[in-house]
Amino acid sequence: MTIRTLRSVEALQAAGLVSDALAPQLAGVEAAYAIALPEPLARVINRSDFLDPVRRQYVPSPEEMDVKDGESGDPIGDRRHSPVPGLVHRYPDRVLIKVTSTCPVYCRFCFRREMVGPEKGEALSKPDLDAVIAYIAAHREIFEVILTGGDPMMLSAARAREITSRLEQVDHVKVIRWHTRMPVTRPDRITPAYAEAVSSRIKAVFVAVHANHANEFTDEAIAACRLLAGQGIALVSQSVLLRGVNDTVEDLSTLMRAFLSAGIKPYYLHQLDAAPGTSHFRMPVAEGQRLVRALRDTLSGLAIPHYVFDIAGGVSKASLALSDIERRDDGWVVRGRDGGDYPLAD
């Protein structure tokens, strides 16, 4: 069955996701940033709710043209840390390979929104991939390779298997990690053949599944995640804290439980990066800290993600979560889930 993807304001308008009054205001957004929304995911959206959290992630808004001071087309410094095309070496022991610039959907808050889209090119060329693999092979400190993009699972199963096989041949690489939205946005693409293509018998393989609201976990999405897990692949989560999407304790709790129910360990909750035209999604750090602390008080440790921020320029990630311990006078005090303070012997 062919899955149709809505790729224009006109297509979104015809599907009842953009009003006739709003459509003319989106011309600039459409010209600046890619649009894609697969019809099965579009059907999850409540057409009568303009504030629907899935709609907000994928349907363009005029607010995207409001670029604030401090916002950047490369907010986490990919270019600064790219020694060869398609590769980012930000941390000593791991690298990113940007294998493609296309995605099954285009998130309206994407930190690479000025680098992704159909017009940016399809995938790394063979010479570029050869150069990337040669770089990894020459740097024995590289323990982990992260496949990203775009969405790396836009690659065919044959191409995914080729990349897996080539990384398997680099002895010092022990972990292969795929960062993707595919299981929740196009679960039909996660076939048994695809799950086999990204698995490995000699390397540890992780798939980081990106979702931001529990409504994205359809029955098909859950089945796709379990298909990957059935190949011995470990699943972890990625989410972004977004105003109007997952900005309540209830929404975040339900999302983290949805991850766990699909066999995915919550891993990262990102503070929004300062990409152009995304300020309407941004949550204050203090509010994020309050939400994550509330999660720790209500969910098991399995369900708690790391609340992190990528420092501008590609310096590193930083933990933003509040600590439950602080130094007072000559001793330590820890906070309980009841809000009380309790002494801790040193």
Q: Which residues have a catalytic role annotated?
A: 90-91, 94, 103, 107, 110, 112, 273, 310, 317
* Residue 7: C-alpha distances to residues 4, 39, 60, 174, 296 (Å): 9, 10, 11, 38, 39
Could you give the 3-state DSSP secondary structure of residue 11?
helix
Burial of 42 from C-beta contacts in 10 A (0-12 / 13-18 / 19+): buried
Strand order of the β-sheet with 94-98 is: 87-91, 94-98, 144-148, 175-180, 204-210, 234-240, 265-270, 306-310, 317-319
Q: Which amino acid is at 47?
A: R
Please say whether the beta carbons of 202 and 182 come within 8 A.
no
DSSP 8-state symbol, 272: P
Which residues face 5 on adjacent strands? 38
Q: Is 243 left (phi over 0), alpha (psi -120 to 50) or beta?
A: beta
Phi, psi of 100 (to 5 degrees): -155, 160
How far is residue 75's CA from residue 92's CA, in Å, rounded to a whole number? 20
Please say whether the beta carbons of 205 and 176 come within 8 A.
yes
